[in-house]
A and B are shown apart, each in its own frame.
Chain A
Amino acid sequence: MKLVIINYGAGNIKSIQFAFKRLGVEAILSNNPDDIRTADKVIFPGVGEANSAMKMLKVSGLDTLIPNLKQPVLGICLGMQLMCKSSEEGNTNGLGIFNVDVKRFSNVVKVPQMGWNTISDLKSPLFKGIKEDAFMYLVHSFYAEACKEQIATTNYEFNYASALQKNNFYGVQFHPEKSSVVGEQILKNFLEL
């Protein structure tokens, strides 16, 4: 199994690498197009600000590479958001893999949402063995709107898409690498796709 975590300078990727290590898989950190293209599975992480992250992707040409990948790709947190059409954060155009826009929570609720919330209406092999209303750790100020490609729903201010899937592309708003044994199960499921 060749597992590549795309390393484009956005955020804490060590935790993801360690989480896979706990599952017995040594992930490769790389931004090299050949490495990424030849991987069996690709993780697209991201923490930080959408616009600057998108710029970093463009510098290394990853903005055109990622949408053309054929193997399973899992976007995590900002990674998922960048796979969407656009983000209100810094008025950013995303990779457009998922046909949905990313917006900011309003000040009716505390922003960022920080902590453990439930995921429900689970609809993908990614969630094999995961119970409805399982708790996941989330930290985010922006969210993907409810949409057709949604495979998990979370409620904060309203129902939004906390996971998305289109063909070989998967995206999760929560941090499976930080969501205890349930999160590790989701990563394990991804490896088995």
Chain B
Amino acid sequence: MLTKRIIPCLDIKNGRTVKGVNFVDLRDAGDPVELAKQYAFKGADELVFLDISATLEGRKTMHDMVLKVAEHVNIPFTVGGGISSVEDVDDLLQCGADKVSINSSAIKRPELVNELANKFGSQCVVVAIDAKNINGNWIVYLAGGTIPTELNLFDWAKEVEQRGAGEILFTSMDNDGTKDGFANVALAKLSETLNIPIIASGGAGTIQHFIDTFEKGNADAALAASVFHFGEIPISELKEALKNKNIPVRQ
């Protein structure tokens, strides 16, 4: 049976791992390659590297990091942040990334999703969506959650699926950094609307939150950062708990 995935997310700035709490107030949690190796060893199913400084700095450091990760890590990983063209994606895949995640650039030019899917296949195109619940309407934000758009989460997700996205990484900005649980109602609705896998992101604080996002949110994967980076939730313990709830996991 296909298992539910647990995905630590490593925010990268200047080649180092950082974690933003509500997208500000950064704390350093180490060297990305070492962390990645450790996570692979401890049973993480996949990794996401998000270059949060990509739009401001050269992408060269990120390429070096991707190459090193591909060399040393034996599980799949996704790279996101500041990717805006077919060439950007080609470079990252050549360096050994398995998937790329695009966000603002897809909103600005939705055809990019088609171009990437046609050239590299849907399986490596993850569309990340940051959204916030404003009076019952889930509004999509761009530029790291700083600028609201006119897009509705569910419509936008459906559109990128039709354009060829292979997966959706949905971050609820209301939940992100709160450690209060994932946005399971919106996740369940997404899962009902779409026929591609959905990664839940934003709000992980306890093991129960992961159980809930798989049981109530119907997520295919759950992503978190600080609870893993600071050892608050060991992955082996998390997987054991999920297994005990009959949620299929790889152990």
Contacts and interface: CB of A to CB of B under 8 A. Distances in A.
Interface of A: 11-12, 14-15, 18-19, 21-22, 47-49, 107, 110-118, 135, 137, 139-141, 155-156, 175, 177-181, 183-184
A12 B220 CA distance: 24
B76 interface: yes
A117 B1 contact: yes
A47 B74 contact: no
A47 B120 contact: yes
B197 A110 contact: yes
Contact of A47 (B40, B124, B250): B124
A21 B220 CA distance: 32
B130 interface: no
A180 B75 contact: yes
Nearest to B74: A180
Contacts of B1: 117-118, 155
B70 A47 contact: no
Contacts of B76: 137, 139, 175, 178
Interface of B: 1-5, 40, 45-46, 67, 70-72, 74-76, 93-98, 118-124, 166-167, 195-197, 220-221, 250
Contacts of A14: 67, 70, 94-96
Interface of B is mostly: loop
A184 B74 CA distance: 8
10 contacts: A14-B67, A47-B123, A47-B124, A49-B118, A111-B195, A114-B166, A115-B4, A117-B3, A135-B250, A156-B2
Nearest to A21: B71
B199 to A, nearest CB: 10
Contacts of A140: 123
Nearest to B44: A180
Given A14-B94, A113-B2, A22 B74 contact: yes
Contact of B74 (A110, A114, A118, A179): A179
Contacts of B98: 12, 15, 139, 178
Q: Which 3 A-B pairs have the closest CB atoms?
A: A14-B96, A116-B250, A139-B123
Nearest to A50: B121
Given A12-B98, A47-B123, A110-B195, A115 B74 contact: no
A115 B3 contact: yes
